[in-house]
Amino acid sequence: MTVPSVPEPAAAAPAAVFPAAAGLLARVREERPMVHCLTNPAALTLSANVLLAVGAEPSLSADPETVRDFVAGTSALVVNLGMLDPAREAAILAATEAAPELGRPWLLDPVKVELSPSRRKFARRLLARRPALVRGNAAEIACFAEGGDPRTLACAAGTVVARTGPSDLVTDGARTAEIANGSPLMAAVTAVGCAASALAGAFLAIEPDSWTAAVAALLVMGVAGELAAARARGPGSFAVELLDALYRLDERDLLERGRVR
Amino acid sequence: MTVPSVPEPAAAAPAAVFPAAAGLLARVREERPMVHCLTNPAALTLSANVLLAVGAEPSLSADPETVRDFVAGTSALVVNLGMLDPAREAAILAATEAAPELGRPWLLDPVKVELSPSRRKFARRLLARRPALVRGNAAEIACFAEGGDPRTLACAAGTVVARTGPSDLVTDGARTAEIANGSPLMAAVTAVGCAASALAGAFLAIEPDSWTAAVAALLVMGVAGELAAARARGPGSFAVELLDALYRLDERDLLERGRVR
Amino acid sequence: MTVPSVPEPAAAAPAAVFPAAAGLLARVREERPMVHCLTNPAALTLSANVLLAVGAEPSLSADPETVRDFVAGTSALVVNLGMLDPAREAAILAATEAAPELGRPWLLDPVKVELSPSRRKFARRLLARRPALVRGNAAEIACFAEGGDPRTLACAAGTVVARTGPSDLVTDGARTAEIANGSPLMAAVTAVGCAASALAGAFLAIEPDSWTAAVAALLVMGVAGELAAARARGPGSFAVELLDALYRLDERDLLERGRVR
């Protein structure tokens, strides 16, 4: 028996997902939404470059005094709790207060809440402010979801939850999609998960249905990751190829490679 | 009709620019000036790597209490306002006070002043301290230049102004050069403009005429960008190739590719 | 006479070093130790990616209030003084107090102490807390070692000292090894030295004898650097190839390329 290096597309994929994702990607490239990312220092560069690779524009200022100006001047907000410190905490509170007033959707990425009780407490406070989307890995989502089931968090918090890993699951409690793309090399480069959150911010900026936006963003990221892995010799070249793949990705790639059910 | 991927050199280039730029690049590689960059967290790595690629040495500390030591120990100062926060603001004030006392030239990169009134105000305060060079994109320069004309800012502030974009313009009010090199991929990688400022810092460190230093630095960056774009498949590989091109660039590349008028 | 681009292995290498280093690398890949790095913003991404490339896990939070949680949740601590500011200084003091209480080995990387008297003073305070390993370049080590001899620092501070450069020297005062691998391109990419410290943290996490851990880490880094340089066109591609080489490195590479005496 041979293991194919490129998995075959799932037979049972919901046919509507691929053209929807391709349509949203085309709109990101055309409308070039600005996305404000309050993210950790190790994720700044890759998050900005992932946004630029799909045609969106990053904005990164994290000063509590002026962050409202930047939320006002951009179309979506991404809040990442990695390497949290008091100044970014204050900026996050100011920004997530401003975002609903200004009609901006926002996303919460609760990085490593499983390692720090105080960060977990802060994340709960943010969940009560109703992000449009929560994206995390299994350990992070399990901190807030009974039995580790993202659906319980989605229902309890009234948000869409995206749990990423070997396969990604996106749910609003009622609708659930599983995306089985990506590559193990994505876990061998720092901040790829954070950058997936930034990318989801670009899709939230143009698509009011957060579930559809999240499915499209993770499908784009997963297929780009697979294309990148096929050309990479290791994590160094993978990171380079990932940006090139996001930049070059087209509808046909999504149709041929996407595995959604 | 075919569109050539590599533009032809301009016929009317001022002949003196190319050997002057090549001579300065050779001196940077030989003298290895240390450049202190007070820049935003998303620009630190690329700025440092661009300096290293041409043989200069980056220095990056931003603590207000000790920044004077670092200005004293280096040959030029680069001040970048991206992601400004109170601590870096204090460091910038201390450093731009120390620089003229210590005889160090300094450059102002007024990142995204168009998005924040308080940052614009801070930039005006710095302009009054007479940087040797201001480098920004069209929107940033337009905040300080009547009618968007960099010459008016150069005259009013008594500085050299470099406005970068699809083509770059460098002016001291009297002398003006236009550099028509570069690639659209430069705008698809974060902090390439910030890194161009860092590179200009290396040229300011060895050339007292800021206009000549700025023209040389932007010509080197533009030609390297063109060479990199010719080998790149997208923004990921472009960033890699840009550093390699800066490292390998020689006088012949500048002569054959440079488009200055 | 021809100069071979790949140096020949030293005839007199201590035979035990190579299988020991290969064995430790295999254990890092299997046990995946988490390493907490309190490092400078310009070194975060490369340090994290070097750790991930060998299978270890980076942790990077630098908030003084919560850093103890992260030291407790990880297996070794790396303290880097580049771009030091008061917040990271406080985090470093809290972390280096917690580390011995929690039984975690820690490493000191005294970046650019030669440029700042206050940083030098802080480094002395940390040396008195007895790091398991000090890694620095010649100028940094010379600040604490009489006559620049790392052995005197090792004896005086009761620590292992690794002085890196064109060739690396690792000593605990009694045992001394010299590693003559690496490439000049390592000095043309920012934070490669900082990333070598992070890598040494992964080896300290699994090997209680700090001298053996440091020799193994620097041998792995040096051989990976040589393999990367052989494929690189300049510093941009070198950084990419370095991560790929660390990811792919095997015992045979160490045996064939390693030059230790």
What's the CA angle centered on B187, arms B105 and B4, to 5 degrees?
110
Name every chain B residue with its beta carbon within 8 A of the beta carbon of C189. 49, 52
Q: Assess C61–A contact: CB distance below 8 Å, yes or no.
A: yes
Q: Give the model's pLDDT for residue C12.
A: 45
Q: How confident is the model at residue C13 (pLDDT cuts 50, 70, 90)?
A: low
CB distance A236–C243 less than 8 Å? yes
Mean pLDDT across chain A: 94
Looking at the partner chain, which of B46, B85, B239 has a beta carbon nearest the beta carbon of A87? B85
Cα–Cα distance for residue pair C8/A89, rounded to 1 Å: 54
CB distance A247–B112 less than 8 Å? no
Q: Give the model's pLDDT for residue A5.
A: 45
Q: Assess A70–B contact: CB distance below 8 Å, yes or no.
A: yes
Q: How confident is the model at residue A249 (pLDDT cuts 50, 70, 90)?
A: very high
Tell me the mean pLDDT in the region A49-70. Answer: 96
Looking at the DSSP assignment, which residues form a beta bridge with residue B121? none
Cα–Cα distance for residue pair C142/C165, rounded to 1 Å: 13
- The model's pLDDT over C113-164, given as tens digits with 9 standing for 90+, comes to 998 899 999 999 999 999 999 999 999 999 999 888 999 999 999 999 999 9
Q: How confident is the model at residue C96 (pLDDT cuts 50, 70, 90)?
A: very high
Contacting partners of chain A (3+ CB pairs under 8 A): B, C
Name every chain A residue with its beta carbon within 8 A of the beta carbon of B86. 63, 65
- The model's pLDDT over A233-242, given as tens digits with 9 standing for 90+, comes to 999 999 999 9
Q: Give the model's pLDDT for residue B257.
A: 95
Residue of A233, A240, A241, A242 for testing the chain C interface, max C β-carbons within 10 Å: A233
Q: Give the model's pLDDT for residue A13.
A: 55
Q: Assess C61–B contact: CB distance below 8 Å, yes or no.
A: no
- The model's pLDDT over A135-177, given as tens digits with 9 standing for 90+, comes to 999 999 999 998 889 999 999 999 999 999 999 999 999 999 9
Nearest C-alpha in B relative to A65: B85
**Contact call for residues C60 and C48 (beta carbons, < 8 A):** yes
pLDDT in tens, chain B (261 residues): 333 344 444 444 577 899 999 999 999 999 999 999 999 999 999 999 999 999 999 999 999 999 999 999 999 999 999 999 999 999 999 999 999 999 999 999 999 999 889 999 999 999 999 999 999 999 999 999 988 899 999 999 999 999 999 999 999 999 999 999 999 999 999 999 999 999 999 999 999 999 999 999 999 999 999 999 999 999 999 999 999 999 999 999 999 999 999
Name every chain C residue with its beta carbon within 8 A of the beta carbon of B85. none
Question: Residue A9 pLDDT more than 50?
Answer: no
Tell me the mean pLDDT in the region C56-60. Answer: 97
* Residue A80 buriedness (CB in 10 A; 0-12 / 13-18 / 19+): buried
What's the CA angle centered on B196, arms B195 and B197, to 5 degrees?
85
- The model's pLDDT over C211-258, given as tens digits with 9 standing for 90+, comes to 999 999 999 999 999 999 999 999 999 999 999 999 999 999 999 999
Cα–Cα distance for residue pair A239/C244, rounded to 1 Å: 11
- CATH number for the region B32-251 comes to 3.40.1190.20
Q: Give the model's pLDDT for residue A15.
A: 76
What's the CA angle centered on C45, arms C200 and C181, to 5 degrees?
40
CB distance A116–C45 less than 8 Å? no
Q: Assess B34–C contact: CB distance below 8 Å, yes or no.
A: no
Topology adopted by domain C31-253 = UDP-N-acetylmuramoyl-L-alanine:D-glutamate ligase (3.40.1190)
Tell me the mean pLDDT in the region A132-137. Answer: 98
Question: Residue C46 pLDDT more than 90?
Answer: yes
Nearest C-alpha in A relative to C64: A85
**Contact call for residues A161 and A153 (beta carbons, < 8 A):** yes
**Contact call for residues C223 and C123 (beta carbons, < 8 A):** no
Name every chain C residue with its beta carbon within 8 A of the beta carbon of B242. 236
Is the complex ipTM higher than 0.85? yes
What residue segments make up the domains of chain A, in order of their start? 31-221
CB distance A189–C49 less than 8 Å? yes
Q: Give the minimum alpha-carbon distance from C42 to chain B in angstroms, rounded to a whole number.
A: 5
Question: Does B196 show up as a binding residue in the annotation?
Answer: no
Residue of C51, C61, C253 for testing the chain A interface, max A β-carbons within 10 Å: C61
Cα–Cα distance for residue pair B153/B156, rounded to 1 Å: 5
Name every chain A residue with its beta carbon within 8 A of the beta carbon of B41. 41, 44, 60
Cα–Cα distance for residue pair C142/C152, rounded to 1 Å: 10
> How many alpha carbons lie under 13 Å from residue B109 in its C-beta half-sphere?
28
Q: In what order do the strands lie in the sheet with B133-136?
A: B57-59, B34-38, B76-80, B106-109, B133-136, B160-163, B168-171, B176-179
Q: Which residues contact A147 (CB under 8 A, 6 or more apart)?
A: none
Question: Residue C93 pLDDT more than 80?
Answer: yes
Cα–Cα distance for residue pair A221/A29, rounded to 1 Å: 15
Q: Give the model's pLDDT for residue B141.
A: 97
Nearest C-alpha in B relative to A36: B83
Strand blocks (E) in chain A: 34-38, 57-59, 76-80, 106-109, 133-137, 160-164, 168-171, 176-179
Could you tell me which residue, A67 or A7, shows the higher pLDDT?
A67
Residue C144 in tokens:
């604490």
Tell me the mean pLDDT in the region C20-34. Answer: 97
Q: Give the model's pLDDT for residue C15.
A: 75
DSSP-derived secondary structure for C161-212: EEE-SSSEEEE-SS-EEEE----GGGGGSTTHHHHHHHHHHHHHHH-S-HHH
**A199: part of which helix (H) or strand (E)?**
helix A192-206
Q: Give the model's pLDDT for residue B155.
A: 95
Name every chain B residue with its beta carbon within 8 A of the beta carbon of A44. 41-42
Q: Give the model's pLDDT for residue B146.
A: 81
- The size of the A-C interface in CB pairs under 8 A is 86
Other CB atoms within a 10 A radius of the CB of residue C8 amount to 9
Q: Give the model's pLDDT for residue A148.
A: 83
Report the top-level CATH class of A31-221: alpha beta
Question: Does A164 show up as a binding residue in the annotation?
Answer: yes
Mean pLDDT across chain C: 94
CB distance A241–B236 less than 8 Å? yes
Q: How confident is the model at residue C56 (pLDDT cuts 50, 70, 90)?
A: very high
Q: pTM (2 decimals)?
A: 0.94
Q: Which amino acid is at B209?
A: D
Q: Assess A54–B contact: CB distance below 8 Å, yes or no.
A: no
CB distance B70–C116 less than 8 Å? yes
Q: Give the model's pLDDT for residue B4.
A: 38
Give percent of chain C with pLDDT exceeding 90.
Answer: 92
Calculate the CA C156 to chain-centre distance. Answer: 21
